[in-house]
Structures are given as C-alpha cells and as structure tokens.
Chain A
Amino acid sequence: MLKTGGAIVIVAVLAAVLGPWLTPFDPAAQLLSLRLSGPSAAHVFGLDELGRDIFARVLAGARISLIVGLTVVSISASVGTLLGALAGYFGGLFDDAVSRVIDVLLAFPGLLLAIALVAMLGPSLGNVLFALAIIGWVGYARLVRGQVLRARELEYVQAARAQGASVVRVLWRHVIPTAMPAVVVQATLGMAGAITGEAALSFLGLGVQPPTPSWGTMLNGGRAHLLDAPHLTVFPGLAIAVLVLGFNFLGDGLRDLADPKKAR
C-alpha cells in the first residue's frame, strides 16, 4: 500500500513538474475546428469545448492540485500543531478558548464552511486556499492537543521542566516530536482532502476560475457535454481519483507503520 501510494504520488509530481515537456500542446491553445473531438493518436485525452488539449490541461491541473494540497496542508498543519500544542500544554483559559473555536468550526460539516467563505469572499484560488486552511487546521489542533496532554505528564518531559528548560524548548524538543508521526499521517491524508476540496469547490464554480486548468473546473465544463463528449468528464475525474487514491494509500501505509497494532 505504502509503495503503491508513493509510486502514484511520485508519478503525479513528475507529471506536474515535467508537464510542459511531456506534450507539445499548450493547455490554453484552442483548436476550435476540432472542439469536443474524442481521444486520438495526436490528442490522447481528446479536446474540450474550446478545442484545448485535455491531456495538456490534466498535466497543468496536476500542478494546481499539488500546489493547493501542499499550501493548505503546510498552513493547516503549522497553525493546528502550534495551537494544539499550546492549548494542551498550558491548559486553562487558552485551552478553553481554542477548544470552543474548534467545537464551533466542527459544527460545520465537511466543506460547508469553505463553501460559505468562498461564496462571500468570491471565487479565486487564493480564497480557496484560505477557506480550506480555515477548516483544515482544526483536525491537527485536536490531534496534537490530545497527544500533548499525554506527553506533558511523561517523566522525561517533567525532567526537562525540572532542569529549567524553557517552555519553547520543552515543547519543541520533547513534546511536539511525540505528536509528529500522527501529524505526518494526518498531513498525507490531508493532501487528499485538500485536493478533493479544491476540485469540489471548482466543480461548483466557487474555486479556480477558467481558463486556469483545474481538474474541478474541467469537470464543471464537462457537465454540459455529458451526452456528446463524455471524455471531458472521464479524464480529469480519473486524475483526481488516482492522485487522491495515491495519497490515501500512502497515508494508510504510514499509519500502519506508525501504529502496527492497527495494521491488523
């Protein structure tokens, strides 16, 4: 599972980076006379409603998806780990405040808050990143808070405190590292979540705006052509499913490594 997931993710990263060299077609170039043509030797995934090469656009979309995933996960994991660690370590009012904010944010299921935020702020890649990070940090904060609550009672952590180590040192050197394996697993699965989230928002017309080639935007464009050109829907969706499956495999494999008992 770990290897399959890793392989899929590496291929996706390579496709995203090497995209411009893998196809002679510009993802924005239009061949209007060939619009909606199906897959052929020259255009392996066919052409879309404006005659743009779908393979080139899927490759370009991989870049958007991976950038969204990495940005959202980096921001969410950093903010969530920091707030969760501080809340778990200090407890008291700060913990109460963070916990209540988490409770309220968790009252919005799934992407609902992200949809609401983007609906108000306006559709754009920046707003999608912001909205996904706002809902993303909560999972990390809860996870790290729980781990820190346990870790702060450990003898070596108490020994470090007794030796006069500063709060920052205790947290950074002794407490947060105990939560890292779980955070890495969460971040890997979070990549899958962020990629799906962006694609869902773009599919609803609330995310990345045309002509930027996002997989979700491409699927949205394909909806009007289900009858006459299903390839517009098949290939971008396949790309999302394979990449998300890769991150899910990787996350599952890493979780099994971190917690062999659960791997049964």
Chain B
Amino acid sequence: MARYLARRILFTIPVLLGVATLVFSLIHLVPGDPVQSMLGEGVSPQDVAEMRTRLGLDRPLLVQYGTFLKGLASGDLGTSLRTNQPVARAIAERMPATFELALAAMAVAMAIALPLGVLAAVRARTATDVAATTLALVGISIPNFWLGPLLAIVFSVVLGWLPVSGRGTLAHLVLPAITLGAPLAAVLARMTRASVIEELNELYVLAARARGASRLRAIVRHAFRNSLIPIVTVIRLQFGAVLTGAVITETIFAWPGVGRLLIQSISFRDYPLVQGCILLIAGTYVSMNLLTDVLYGFLDPRIRYD
C-alpha cells in the first residue's frame, strides 16, 4: 500500500507543476499590456510602471516564474488588486461556502440517483426503466444556468417558498443545491443502472438467491454493493463538473463562494485573484482525484498491484 501511495503522489507532483505553470502563463495571454488592461485608459505612465513593479512583471520571465513557484510553496498567491487583501485569504474566506454547496449538491444527486438507478436496473427494459432513463438524459441536457433561473421563477417568484439569493439558512441552500446536483444526479442514475444490471447478471447474486436471500437483500446487499466502484468513479469524475457548475450556480444565486469570486474578479480584471481562484479549483480537483485513487486502493486490493 505504501508503494502504491508513493507512486500516486509522485505522479501528482508533475501534474500540479504543469497546472501551476499554465496558471502562471495565463497573465501573459492578455492581449497587449496586461497592466494597462487592468488599470484601463487614462492612467499615468507612472501608475502603470508602479503596478508593473508591484506585480513583478518588469522582471525577466524566468525570475517571475521562480518567484511565482516560491510564493505557491509558501501559500502566497499574491495580493488582490482591488481590495489589497492577500489572494489566499480572500479565497479561504469563500471556500466554506463553496464546499457547503458542493457537498449539498452531491447529497441531492445521490439521494435522487441511487434509488432511481437501482429501480431502473431492477425493472430493466420495462416502462419504468425507459421513463427513468429518459428522465436522466433530459436531466443531463438541461443546463444548470437555465435550471437555476427556472427554479427561482417557480419557487421564489411564483410560490414565494424559498429565497432567490444569498447564504445563511438551510432555505438558502435548497435551490442552489438542486441546481448544481440535478445534472450530477442524471449522470449518476445512468451509471448506477448500468452497473447494477451488470452485477445482477453475476452468478453470486443467483447463489445468494439460491441460499434463500430475499430478492431485496440480493439486490441491495450483493448486487448494489459490488456496483459501487464504478459509481464512485463517476462521482469522482463528476466532482469536476460540480466545481465548474459551482461557478455558474454561485453566480445565479449570489452564493458567496469561490466561483462567484472568480467571476467577480474577472469582471474587475483582478488577474492575481483570477489566477488564485483557478489554481485553487484545479488543485482541489487534483487532490480529490488523488484521494479517490487512494480510496480505491483500500476498496479493491487488485488496484494496488496493477
């Protein structure tokens, strides 16, 4: 297990370095002079020069890169141009909101998808299955930037049951969590169905039934349990979609998380903050992948020796 763990961590380091390099080079993609672009027209050349020095953009590229990596290693992501706050602190303040939303969305997704997927599998090739499968495909096709406003129209504007924006109470969390969780539920339901159908055809399920296990027990304790690995894989793959979806969902519902901070910093051309948000989201994603890989190693010993 230790060797497997070491190998996975070693594999992650160059990826993180690549991510950092790409994020570092982003600011150099700004057409023309990034400093002029940040400050806008009508600023004095002294102000431009001062800002260039402050951002370190007057130094050779390699020196800038070295400073950037050194800063990263010590958790220094630079300073926000708009608020003068350290980027790391600005992001840290918003992170709990994003995690709260992501976890709630995943909970919503699992609560809808797992029963729906198992039901479709158990009733495979019946009207129930077709209805569940079609519903899932419709769910995948509805973009969350449409679902969110629609839910807001129905539940906030028409019915007046839930608040349309902000964070604070559980009621504030409901619409954003459903908006973010619904597409994930659709993907997860499809995968659960396929995975459970596969397992239901295995001999051990038949053997369990032959030993006198009830149909429900054979499905839940045997087939469903063994179909969990591909389901965990999908949850892991969809975690990325949840992180990106959070950017959109937080913008729709004015949810004060990292995603909204990213979009706000883009509109203010606060490039250090943009870089910090991108880096943090990508870093979280890579870390989650590492974590689930390690989890697989525990769940399925064959993976460790592959």
A-side residues, CB < 8 A to B, are 100-101, 103-104, 107-113, 115-117, 119-122, 192, 196, 199-200, 203-206, 216, 219, 222-223, 226-227, 230, 233-234, 236-238, 240-242, 244-245, 248-249, 252, 262, 264
Contact = CB atoms under 8 A, between A and B. Distances in A.
Given A104-B19, A109-B244, A116 B26 contact: yes
Nearest to B21: A104
Given A113-B278, A236-B146, A244-B143, 9 more contacts: A100-B14, A104-B15, A120-B26, A120-B271, A121-B30, A122-B31, A233-B153, A237-B146, A249-B137
Given A107-B19, A112-B244, A117-B29, A233 B146 contact: yes
A237 B141 contact: no
Given A104-B22, A204-B263, A234-B150, A112 B145 contact: no
A249 B137 CA distance: 8
Contact of A107 (B27, B31, B274, B285): B285
Interface string B232-276: 000000011101110110011000000000110011000100100
Interface string B144-156: 0110011011000
Contact of A109 (B142, B146, B263, B281): B281
Interface residues of B, number: 50
5 contacts: A109-B285, A111-B247, A112-B243, A119-B274, A241-B142
B254 to A, nearest CB: 11
A180 B247 CA distance: 35
A47 to B, nearest CB: 18
A110 B15 contact: no
Contact of A245 (B138, B240, B262): B138
Given A107-B18, A230-B157, A244-B141, A203 B29 contact: no
B140 interface: yes
Contacts of B141: 192, 241-242, 244-245, 248
A110 B251 CA distance: 17
A152 B36 CA distance: 52
B15 A120 contact: no
Contacts of A226: 149, 152-153, 157, 164
A203 B244 CA distance: 14
B247 to A, nearest CB: 7
Contacts of A230: 153, 157
Contact of B146 (A108, A119, A120, A241): A241
Contacts of B150: 233-234, 237
A222 to B, nearest CB: 7
Contacts of A227: 157
